[in-house]
């Protein structure tokens, strides 16, 4: 899907900043695509954009209103419908990453039809994917993988793309989740693809390319997570990565939402190579990205130094300290 820009970010009346993480992700990486934010009374989130009404945003040139929130069950509250209809009536398309399809709400479907506007259900794709074939294709691919969910795979991939481009590399972020699709303007929410076609969808978003072109593919889940390992494995096989970066959050003891213990970084490296060799026998780890937000500066630097020594790989927090060391290793491992 191609989503028209710029965006008006709709934050609704969410009760905390975390609930607006989709909007915040877009603002963090594509602020120039965002005209402003619309908040309903009682909203406790703020992405630092100018507050606007829908009419003001339309007058300023907004093309799409993005429902930039997440909530339990991915539902669309009834009292948000009028704002979505107003956006459509004002000439904007509407995009959402929620589980409920916009067109399933009669008032929204009718407003879109009446004005010829597009409804983007980012979590869903109407594309008919083929099954994965596993045939080696030209181009280079880097995949972010994790010791758990929500450890920074998307932000790491985006940081890699930014640094690689700054170095003159031909690199492009490939989105596999709803927030990533909104950040890139295209992609596939891989967790909504029927299981048989996950690897095929991954092949589709990172197709054959020039020999020196890098697709930097956003990872999902973890090979060790009992809930999401199936998605992670299908993505790994279809992405066919030449390189991967392990993403980790060091303060967790168990994986999110389950009682299973967190795997070690070494276990993730070994399992990723073992499983990834099915479609790319030359797969290799090129770095470790650690979310050190919960650590003090001295503690974070000591931890990163320790991890780097233990695995003989560059280790960094991409947001806190930048990702140059990992890109250095990518260039060294894959000289042009």
Specify the pLDDT at position 23. 94
Tokens of 333: 């491992």
Total-model pTM: 0.88
Determine what percent of the chain is predicted with pLDDT higher than 90: 87
Q: Which residue has the higher pLDDT, 257 or 225?
A: 225
Task: Give me the domains of the chain, ranges plus CATH numbers.
Answer: 7-121 (3.40.50.720), 140-333 (3.40.50.300)
Mean pLDDT within 267-273: 98
Q: What is d(CA 201, CA 128) in angstroms, rounded to the nearest whole number?
A: 9
Under the banding of pLDDT at 50, 70 and 90, the label for residue 1 is: low
Please tell me the predicted confidence (pLDDT) of residue 99: 84
Per-residue pLDDT band for 332 (boundaries 50, 70, 90) equals very high
Q: What is the pLDDT of residues 83-114, one digit of tens each?
A: 999 999 999 999 998 888 999 999 999 999 99
Q: How far apart are CA 8 and CA 54, in angstroms?
A: 8
Confirm if 277 and 283 have CB atoms less than 8 A apart: yes
- DSSP state letter for 111: H
CA–CA separation, 308 vs 305, rounded Å?
5
Mean pLDDT of 111-126: 92
How high does pLDDT run on average in the chain? 95
Tens-digit pLDDT profile for residues 24-35: 999 999 999 999
In 3D space, the residue among 48, 114, 60, 45 whose CA is nearest the CA of residue 86 turns out to be 114
Let me know: does 31 contact 2? Beta carbons within 8 Å.
no
Output the pLDDT for position 160: 98
What is the pLDDT averaged over residues 314-328?
98
Q: Sign of the CA dihedral 232, 237, 238, 241?
A: positive
User: In the predicted model, what is the mean pLDDT of residues 185-202?
Assistant: 92
- Structural tokens at position 281: 């026998």
């Amino acid at each position: 899907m191609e989503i028209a820009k710029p965006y008006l970010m709709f934050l609704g009346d969410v009760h905390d900043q975390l609930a607006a993480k989709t909007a915040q992700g877009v603002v963090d990486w594509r602020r120039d695509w965002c005209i402003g934010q619309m908040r309903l009374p009682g909203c406790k989130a703020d992405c630092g954009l100018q507050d606007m009404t829908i009419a003001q945003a339309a007058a300023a040139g907004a093309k799409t209103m993005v429902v930039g929130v997440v909530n339990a069950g991915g539902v669309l509250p009834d009292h948000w419908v009028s704002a979505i209809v107003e956006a459509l009536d004002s000439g904007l398309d509407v995009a959402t990453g929620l589980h409920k399809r916009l067109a399933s709400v009669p008032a929204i479907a009718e407003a879109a039809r009446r004005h010829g506007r597009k409804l983007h259900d980012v979590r869903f794709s109407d594309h008919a994917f083929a099954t994965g074939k596993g045939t080696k294709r030209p181009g280079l691919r880097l995949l972010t993988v994790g010791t758990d969910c929500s450890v920074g795979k998307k932000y790491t991939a985006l940081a890699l793309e930014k640094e690689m481009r700054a170095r003159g590399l031909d690199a492009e972020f490939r989105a596999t989740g709803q927030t990533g699709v909104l950040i890139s303007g295209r992609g596939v929410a891989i967790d909504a693809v029927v299981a048989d076609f996950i690897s095929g969808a991954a092949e589709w978003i990172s197709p054959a390319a020039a020999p020196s072109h890098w697709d930097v593919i956003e990872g999902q889940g973890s090979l060790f997570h009992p809930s999401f390992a199936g998605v992670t494995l299908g993505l790994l096989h279809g992405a066919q990565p030449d390189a991967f970066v392990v993403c980790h959050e060091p303060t967790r003891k168990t994986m999110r939402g389950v009682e299973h213990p967190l795997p070690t970084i070494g276990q993730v490296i070994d399992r990723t190579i073992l499983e990834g060799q099915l479609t790319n026998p030359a797969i290799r780890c090129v770095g470790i990205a650690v979310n050190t937000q919960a650590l003090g500066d001295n503690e974070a630097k000591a931890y990163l130094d320790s991890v780097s020594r233990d695995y003989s790989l560059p280790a960094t927090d991409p947001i806190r300290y930048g990702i140059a060391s990992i890109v250095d290793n990518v260039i060294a491992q894959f000289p042009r």
